[in-house]
A = this chain, B = another copy of it.
């Protein structure tokens, strides 16, 4: 098998691009596609203050290495969700990688907004999916950190397969609001929103995994300890099935969406949240509403356990929680990254 570019021995077959490549030209291809995403969507420039949201997984760690090889100088932020064993391991992996390449590693405690409670505990009490709660906390913590520390942009490790899966979910349920917000760059908003960029948006997930393997990049290959988001996993599985039968369909699907969408301006009017100042469409932002509800429910539980609660209160709280989760159902089905 010969490399489609240099005609040397090729070890890598990429049916989705109809290419065979040697290791060097494969690495070059991944870098080119990252650079193309950064330039095409005007994500950031050399010299900008970039914060990589790093989890220890293949995507964010590979992106960290690629950005530094390409001459950008990002820092990294690791959001720690409690003293769970696999999170400790992820933290160690992240630390090693950052030490290898230079750059600063920040560590944030994601549980501090809920008095130290893990996302699984918060989710159980709110009767909402763990992934939705964990995602909300992470996005909030990362954005707040970036704004407070003066970063121009937050880079996340979403790859093209992730994005296509989210797109499929949003199309199946016609979540038009989310379709808009799925663009590879969400611009900065005055008042408290850092720009969010997805530099891996033009690379297949399996290519990112291969990139890490070829360069011997260490990453944590474990599922999230709080359980993966079952919904987006289904869409990804289905897309990979289609990809096996029609190599390139994921790229055709996602690139077609990009071509047809054009750069979107978010059309909603935002005002500062009355509690935390983050721009929001209502009076209080989604995150602060969750914090408030959690505090209410926690108070009710402790009243009960002190023997002062009664059946009626108990029932009312559970009904409210149900109603609340029902109202939000349609939002959670969409994948809001």
Verify A173–B256 contact, CB threshold 8 A: yes
Task: Report copies per complex.
Answer: 2
In residues 229-273 of chain A, which contact B (Cβ within 8 Å)?
231, 234-235, 238, 241-242, 245-246, 249, 252-253, 256-257, 259-260
CB-based contact B171/A171 at 8 Å: yes
A234 touching B242, Cβ below 8 Å = yes
Closest partner residue, chain B, to A233 (CB atom) = B245
Partner of A174, one of B234, B242, B256: B256
Is A311 engaged at the interface, CB distance under 8 Å to the other chain? no
**A249–B171 alpha-carbon span in the complex (Å):** 11
Given A252-B172, A257-B174, is A234 in contact with B245 using a C-beta cutoff of 8 Å? Answer: yes
By a CB distance below 8 angstroms, the chain B residues around A256 are: 173-174
Within the assembled complex, what's the spacing in Å between the Cα atoms of A231 and B257? 21
How far, in angstroms, from A253 to B234 measured CA to CA in the complex?
A: 16
Interface size in chain A (residues, C-beta < 8 A): 20
How far does the Cβ of A168 sit from chain B's closest Cβ, in whole Å? 8
Offer 23 A-B interface pairs, CB within 8 angstroms, sorted by A: A171-B171, A171-B253, A172-B242, A172-B249, A172-B252, A172-B253, A173-B249, A173-B252, A173-B253, A173-B256, A174-B252, A174-B253, A174-B256, A174-B257, A174-B260, A176-B260, A234-B241, A234-B242, A234-B245, A235-B242, A238-B238, A238-B242, A241-B241
Using A174-B253, A174-B259, A241-B241 as known contacts, list a sample of 17 further A-B pairs with CB atoms less than 8 Å apart, ordered by residue number in A.
Answer: A171-B171, A171-B253, A172-B249, A173-B249, A173-B252, A173-B253, A173-B256, A174-B252, A174-B257, A174-B260, A176-B260, A231-B246, A234-B242, A234-B245, A235-B242, A238-B238, A238-B241
A residues whose Cβ falls under 8 Å from a Cβ of B: 171-174, 176, 231, 234-235, 238, 241-242, 245-246, 249, 252-253, 256-257, 259-260
